[in-house]
């Protein structure tokens, strides 16, 4: 079965970079599309971006200047880097797989990792 697991620091200082890893088992990241989604306190959710099976990326325009998604196919992992964070980036971060087929729906998600931005 496909499983995703986020990992990374739970606390980041303002103005620093947030770096998270999504480790995938049961499915190769060289197939399909892989994304990052975050859920803010108060439950608002935001699509952040994705990396494709070929390594191409697409980002939410609201984050475009601060976000980077990369991957390591040898480890079947992909990564999120968000620069110049502020307290407004405090959220639970999820990685997810796009459901195979038409449409952009996400059928496997990691359990999420909470990141707090605070000095």
Partner 1 sequence: DIQMTQSPASLSASLGETVSIECLASEGISNDLAWYQQKSGKSPQLLIYAASRLQDGVPSRFSGSGSGTRYSLKISGMQPEDEADYFCQQSYKYPWTFGGGTKLELK
Residues in contact with partner 1 by the rule CB under 8 A? 43-47, 58, 60-62, 94, 96, 99, 102-107, 109-112
8 Å CB contact between 49 and 33: no
Compute the least distance from the CB of residue 42 to partner 1, in Å: 9
Compute the least distance from the CB of residue 45 to partner 1, in Å: 4
In degrees rounded to 5, what are phi and psi of residue 23? -100, 130
Task: Collapse the DSSP code of 58 into the 3-class scheme (helix H, G, I; strand E, B; otherwise coil) and give the result.
Answer: strand
Q: Which residue, 10 or 61, has its beta carbon nearer to partner 1? A: 61
Per the document, the length of the chain is 119
């Amino acid at each position: 079965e496909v499983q995703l697991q986020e990992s990374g620091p739970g606390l980041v200082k303002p103005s620093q970079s947030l770096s998270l890893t999504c480790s995938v088992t049961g499915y190769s990241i060289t197939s399909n599309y892989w994304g990052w989604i975050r859920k803010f306190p108060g439950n608002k959710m935001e699509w952040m971006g994705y990396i494709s099976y070929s390594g191409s990326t697409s980002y939410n325009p609201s984050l475009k200047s601060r976000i980077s998604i990369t991957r390591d196919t040898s480890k079947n992992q992909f990564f999120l880097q968000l620069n110049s964070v502020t307290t407004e980036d405090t959220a639970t971060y999820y990685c997810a797989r796009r459901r195979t087929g038409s449409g952009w729906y996400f059928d496997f998600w990691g359990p999420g990792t909470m990141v707090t931005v605070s000095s």
